[in-house]
Amino acid sequence: MRFLKLLPILILIIFNANLQAQEQEQHEAGMFLGYVKSSASAASGFTFGLDYEFKFDTKPIIGIGGLLEFTFGKLGSTMLGLPIYIHPNEEFKVWIAPFIEIPSKSETISDTTNNFGVEVQAGNHIVFRLGVSYAFDIEGLKLAPTVCLDLIENHINMLAGLSFSYGF
């Protein structure tokens, strides 16, 4: 009889824990550290980024978010993007993102010709990123080797690095 009195409380506790678990996995904030290499020239540099993702309750999981990335060196720029993520499983993530790239004034390379004989213009660019990562969960912190291709007008930048993220 006592069990029946406690049953509604037990159900509420389980239901609340389930809701909290779902909410914790809907949001993810992260940081990216990596290296970028341009196909337009021999230029390369260090890149640092911040990102956020909101995950919808779908199978496979689909998410949307925002990215802010800084590239240093001859490729110096700031990039703002709106990615769409697809998670075939919990560890694997693929995304595509339109970006706007704003070159650093002090590091902008003047109009030049790349290795393929294609002219590369200085100034703001529209960029499309294709990315893939595989996350390893370590005590709630996700570490993910990440590879991306940035399609910038008439050349490609290749990125490789490590993402650190936390779900909440």
Asked whether residue 5 carries a pLDDT value surpassing 50, the answer given is yes
The secondary structure of the chain as a DSSP string is -HHHHHHHHHHHHHHHHHHHHHHHHHEEEEEEEEEEEESSSS-EEEEEEEEEEEE-S-SSEEEEEEEEEEE-STT-EEEEE--EEEESSSSEEEEEEEEEEEE-GGGPPPSEE-TTS-EE--S-EEEEEEEEEE-EEETTEEEEEEEEEEEETTEEEEEEEEEEEEE-
Q: At 140, give phi and psi (nearest 5°).
A: 90, -20
Asked whether residue 6 carries a pLDDT value surpassing 70, the answer given is no
Task: Please report the pLDDT score of residue 121 as a whole number.
Answer: 53
pLDDT, one tens digit per residue, over 122-146 is 678 899 999 999 999 999 999 999 9
Domains (ranges, CATH) in the chain?
A: 27-167 (2.40.160)
Task: Please report the pLDDT score of residue 122 as a whole number.
Answer: 64
pLDDT, one tens digit per residue, over 61-94 is 999 999 999 999 988 999 999 999 999 998 999 9
